[in-house]
Amino acid sequence: MKLHQVALQLYTLRDFTKTPSDFAVTARKIRAAGYEAVQISGVGPIEDRELVSICRGEGLRICATHESGKVIVEETQKIIDRLGRLGAIYTAYPHPHVPLTTVEEVLALASDLDKAGKALRKAGNVLTYHNHAIELRKFDGKTMLDLFFEHTNKQNLQATIDTYWIQAGGGDPAEWCRKLKRRLPMIHMKDFGVSKDNRTGVMMEVGAGNLNWQAIIPAAEKSGCEWFIVEQDICPGDPFDSIRASYQYIKEHLAERIGR
């Protein structure tokens, strides 16, 4: 992993990206923290051209988006058009937008995602599935995530493995990265920790929790991961302090020492 591959998921700073002026200030702080790219998600009603202009002005690349699952499946062309405006290749289906209580429902969603992913692929884009813990629920011994990837073309549906949520669901993030070789363009990096009052499953800055990053990152690299995206849905204090801490840990302990 090189530092220019480290991006920030903007959902982390959703409270600071509600207007164009907010976004401009936030983009400047993101770049000052060291990041060179962002994934668009959770921003306010800001026109895409403004997002692009602000990001370019601050030296930030838009590497990907998160989009509405319903829109991805039912209005795929809107996603294609938006990715074109933003100059991004990747997007992510963020979480199930339909009930997934039976294997039939899981396979129906897999079919819908395969169709949407095919349309995106033909336009030069890539659809990925972003997991939470629910996708590790099993049906006849197989997780939802297994079923999604077994029942879709690997060119039509790839993965954004969220390391925290894989751990929360009882999985091994490094193993999931290995399983998805050549199907893993992005991962989400947030650490899994324990609070002072003994609560488990606390979102923490990268390096502040218990995930084995020395195993996860090489596994992701070997599977062809292109973007290593810091995301922290909940921060213990100032989110800007959190994104700085995560970047510094990555820079000092995980990124390649030679080159960028």
> Which band of pLDDT confidence, cut at 50, 70 and 90, is reported for residue 257?
low
Question: For residue 103, what pLDDT is reported?
Answer: 98
Q: What is the pLDDT of residues 196-218, one digit of tens each?
A: 888 889 999 999 999 999 999 99
Distances in Å between the Cα of 237 and the Cα atoms of 1, 28, 234 are: 28, 20, 9
Q: Which domains does the chain have, with CATH numbers?
A: 3-254 (3.20.20.150)
List, in order, residues 6 or more apart from 240 with CB less than 8 Å away. Answer: 13, 29, 33
For 138, left (φ over 0), alpha (ψ -120 to 50), or beta? beta
| pLDDT given at position 199 | 80
* pLDDT, tens digit, 9 for 90 and up, residues 103-116: 999 999 999 999 99
pTM score: 0.97
